Structure 1
């Protein structure tokens, strides 16, 4: 049992000295790892719950016994506490908090801001706004719509704007150098402002209508277009009237294809949560401008501890009489307003997700959401937010769709994890790898890629914890060998990878993989054997994936460096499926790197870095301004000097270097 006297007296004195103010607290273990981050309306009351109660053998009891140190931060309000708490959760990755991956990859649709170009003509690119797909930090001079749940949703919206409003999508450098309309004009996806087929005023009106369309003001757009069409018809300007009629027809067709009864809702997020098999999924569906843009699933970690911790963080049950002393029985009773795991997961998502992402005015939720959480979001954003539980009519249809998708995504995740674990187990058994914890099995796989000896690169991919670990992938530029000599390339990459790692492993400062796969047969394995022998490493770690008869998929065999007979796992073997998955990932990673390097060499983009005074920032500015190395090479020194950060002298140096 956990008792107060088991804790460090200094820690208990810190708890006793806490103020009765809102704030955030962090618990650390003896090794300095973060155990839990929480917020409180009353720090003293909340934190005392952890050290004064009998937690028995619960998960929370296990956590409490590990607490060696505590940090607290007092804030002015619960809204500030909410913001700080979830920023710390994302930063510190505590073991006992529900944690969602920090996803900063939301894409936006960008419409560039109009501005006059100094000395430019009427057809200069900045005068005609451009619609584009965008990720990154926003700038005030441009207009952004979103966020969207996926890149596909943005590109689909751009296609709609091209069909209806014929806005340009080309880069400024392309726009400024056009002498005749491009293919998009021919297929009626662009009004060709680059060659003067539309006036700046008409184009600006199309941009304004496009922005209103994205905001959901579709009926107003149709009414405005109809009035203008009638005005042109009265003036006998039938050609202009026909253009507006065609635009109305295209817009009506789009609205018909994407019709949905919004019930007055324009911007809504629909949040559905599903918990099963120790895993959870929150499915986020987005409605923007009255259009359903799609959805995205999120899978939190550390949910197994959520209920125990939440009961401690909730308001405790008060004694029946004023001034009565809480008995042990009272202390172990559930807190009032105890929440389901689904509700806890959903609230954790809302708190963490909307720190960095704009909150729409309406959240339709599958579980009830704490009013204090919504109030904190309102205080943080300064906008009115309503969280709707048990909705009706169209909102109910949206929520049912989101709930169904959450269930499907969670079932897919559980099936994939079960399948992947079965594959790991099958491989360990096939190769007689004695592993108590299969999740600890670490496999590294190497592949060589080049085109007729050009731009040779080697890849190293890592499989660990039943999945590919992309953050641990490595690429190696292979130099100093005969072009096309794959054996020498394999020798070089293995030597570079394991020479330092072997020394660190002997000092217990690093861990070698349990299996090293090389994509190749006897020749590649022989080269790996030589490297491992020189480094004093176990030859039993090495296996080569040799193509079978006719190089057919499913007939691969494993070749070993320690003299074992090669084995054929079988076409339907789960072990072979895992081997093929890892090998194919190594090949994909190697070939994408090789192609990028080859493209860099062929376009000469590396020549910019060879010029004194050109670093990454100036190089990026030049490429952003001109669109590519060829455009820079065709520009004059005067044009190059117009780029921010490029002086006249440096521009002349760049011009000389590229010519």
Structure 2
């Protein structure tokens, strides 16, 4: 043992003196108070004791022991509960010696609202607080959009918002192209629409065969009654259902609700490909790239991935894998605790299920090959950036800043981040400009953004936090003026170890003729076909895209705020009631007192308050 390992072993031995022999989770804490390793055990004392036996440990665990300054434990009733807690802590704390699934993206779901007489079908992300039936998850927004389109085409369900539904006076385009039954204007009876909703739920639950038989019988009945227009409409729905049923890549008849998970490993990197099958339909697939050391084998990576992947989402009844897992019974037991049914984990060896797993494995291999190719190209570009700007090494973190506004209105600044793995979208940041700033003063906006970003980082450092997000290069969209503004902010903060570069388009604003401004050299240009120039343009364009998107979102929020928000006592429910009744804030403003009192959900007192806000003279007269 080296001296550091001895110190860590002494800390662990001291913790063992009071450690119970029960199931639980242990955390190894370093000098900065961060968790460097999280593990679970059936017997905490027996498991943690293994870390003082240095010769039996891998190099990774020896380094972990040397970093350990304290040990914290949480006891649980069973080992399965310990496994769930371990996965939750690893995903939240991201310890550097664990296998970590770094993916913060939420999965989209399809929701059929049940808080309206005519349920709406729509895409949903986030907490499932709305009353309704949820179906999913789906691998991507594209996959759920395809299903929404199928719901419109086959079952003619509405997808419009409730406010739009309430204000319609004639059918919209979706009715004209046979994608909606137009319940907003009474083109379908409530019981008939309820029947469509019931058929849609049966389809989503995997009973598409029953739906197909029901539609076929309905078409034949209409034809026998000589209602050929009705028969043709049902025929079109049948054709749409047949198209949807045959449109999936992975859609085996033997699978109803399952996740197909396959891992592939090359050059110390692992890709885990997940296919979602729900109700017999393929809901799409997504690749994941867990962070781990090169010594970790596929079974260990796959086991850690599954535990963390289902930490915040319900597992299906069946998981199909391409590798046998260690402690597979324990993992299945832990997942079953999260679901109202037993979860089975299977590694099929033959038949249709094996074919599906092999298909997922091929997708995992291809995704990993693309990732490795991109990483190699990215590494060469970062080397080129380091050489161009005389950096000591390839930059691990590049931050790019940009602003967006329209004539000074709704100003926002943004920061995007790029590194060896490409764009790190989880590190993107938005800055609503607080001011006071002269409208359109881009220099002042840039100064505020940099001041807020770096002063906060320095404060966190002063409080003892590690500077894990300190940039090696800061790229600013602009010219010499923006560079000067950035330099002044950094000088005021005492930051002198970050390279500042401004990238500005030429007088004609032609891409490929950008001027680069940085300290220590005169402004210069790169050849139009230089790969490093393309890379810098991509960084600048991504920052510009994010700035525009952020500005538009902020502007839309401001536009959605109406004068009704300024009336004391008018909350979201009353505002919705008024807008649904009158169609717009202008309609509310033009309404008479009697009309306001007749609005469902609006009392006389509230009507008087609304009327007085828009007619202050009338308020005095009534008073």
Q: TM-score, normalising length from structure 1?
A: 0.80
Q: Secondary structure at the match of 2:119?
A: coil
Matches within 5 A, 1:16-415: 16-52=17-53, 54-55=55-56, 58-101=59-102, 103=104, 105-113=106-114, 126-139=116-129, 141-258=131-248, 262-304=252-294, 307=296, 341-369=297-325, 370-415=328-373
User: What is the alpha-carbon distance in structure 2 between the residues aligned to residue 533 and residue 377 of structure 1?
Assistant: 53
**1:319 aligns to what?**
none
Q: Aligned pair in 2 of structure 1 residues 492, 211: CA closer, same or farther (>3 Å)?
A: closer
CA distance in 1, matches of 2:36, 2:105: 25
1:16/1:607 Cα in 2 relative to 1: closer, same or farther (>3 Å)? same
* Whole-angstrom distance in 1 between the partners of 2:247 and 2:6: 69
Question: 2 CA distance for matches of 1:539 and 1:356?
Answer: 40
* 624-633 or 592-601, larger mean C-alpha shift: 624-633
Work out the CA distance in 1 between the residues paired with 2:79 and 2:47. Answer: 13
Aligned pair 1:451/2:414, yes or no? no
Counterpart CA distance in 2 for 1:429 and 1:354 is 43
Whether contact under 8 Å (2:398, 2:419) holds in the other structure is yes
Give the drift of 1:227: 3.0
Is 2:582 the counterpart of 1:592?
Answer: no
Partner Cα separation in structure 2 for residue 491 and residue 180 of structure 1 = 52
1:642 corresponds to: 601
What SS does the aligned partner of 2:401 have? strand
Q: Check 1:7–1:56 CA distance in 2 against 1; reply closer, same or farther (3 A cut).
A: same
Offset, 1:466? 6.1
* Contact 1:89-1:97 within 8 A present in 2 as well: yes
- Partners of 1:79 and 1:380 within 8 A in 2: no
Kept after mapping to 1: 8 A contact 2:314/2:338: no
Secondary structure at 1:568 match in 2: coil
The alignment status of 1:631 with 2:584, answered yes or no, reads yes
CA pair 242-577 structure 1, distance change in 2 beyond 3 A: closer
Partners in 1 of 2:422 and 2:322 — Cα distance? Answer: 31
The CA deviation string for residues 399-444 of structure 1, in whole angstroms up to 9 with x for no partner, is: 2221121112212222222222222221121111234xx345x544
User: 2:478 aligned with 1:520, yes or no?
Assistant: yes
In 1, Cα distance between the equivalents of 2:255 and 2:460?
60
Inter-partner Cα distance in structure 1 for 2:276 and 2:541:
35
CA distance in 1, matches of 2:164, 2:537: 43
**Residues 478, 504 of structure 2: 8 Å contact kept:** yes
- Structure 2: distance between partners of 1:507 and 1:93: 20
1:49 shift after superposition: 1.7
Distance 2:480 2:198 in 1: 66
Shift of 1:169: 0.8
Say whether 1:473 aligns with 2:429: yes
SS of the aligned residue for 1:567 comes to coil
CA contact (8 A) 1:641 1:648 kept: no
CA deviation profile, 1:104-151 (whole Å, cap 9, x unmatched): 61111111126xxxxxxxxxxx21111111112224841111111111
* Contact 2:263-2:270 within 8 A present in 1 as well: yes
1:227 and 1:504 map into 2 onto residues whose CA distance is 69
Give the conservation status (yes or no) of the 8 Å contact 2:414–2:428: no
Residue 272 of structure 1 and its aligned partner are, at CA, apart by 0.7
Report the equivalent of 1:569.
526
Q: Is the 8 A contact 1:28 1:68 kept in 2?
A: yes
> How far apart, in 2, do the equivalents of 1:108 and 1:653 lie?
40
Q: What secondary structure, in the 3-state scheme, does the structure 1 residue paired with 2:106 have?
A: coil
What SS class does the counterpart of residue 27 from structure 1 fall into? strand
Query: 1:62–1:621: structure 2 CA closer, same or farther, 3 Å change rule?
Result: farther
1:35–1:95 CA contact under 8 A, matched in 2: yes
Separation of aligned partners in 2, 1:480 and 1:133: 39
Cα distance in 2, alignment partners of residues 495 and 13 from structure 1:
45
2:518 corresponds to 1:547: no
Aligned residues: 603
| Separation (CA, whole Å) in 2 of partners of 1:238 and 1:506 | 78
Residues 1:581 and 2:581 are matched in the alignment: no
Cα distance change of structure 1 residues 445 and 246 upon mapping to structure 2, 3 Å threshold: closer
Contact 1:539 1:561 in 2 (8 A): no
- Note the C-alpha offset of 1:496: 6.3
Residues 405 and 7 of structure 1, relative CA distance in 2, 3 Å threshold? closer
Cα pair distance change 1:499/1:371, threshold 3 Å: closer
Distance of 1:289 and 1:28 partners within structure 2: 44
Q: Aligned partners of 1:378 and 1:534: how far apart in 2?
A: 56
C-alpha contact 2:41 2:82 (8 A) present in aligned 1 = yes
CA RMSD after TM alignment: 3.8
> How far apart are 1:211 and its partner, in Å?
0.9
SS of structure 1 residue aligned to 2:55: coil
Task: Please report the TM-score for the alignment, with normalisation by the length of structure 2.
Answer: 0.84
The answer for unaligned runs of 5 or more in structure 1 is 115-125, 308-340
Cα deviation for residue 552 of structure 1 reads: 2.4
Question: Contact conserved, 2:564 with 2:585, CA < 8 A, in 1?
Answer: no
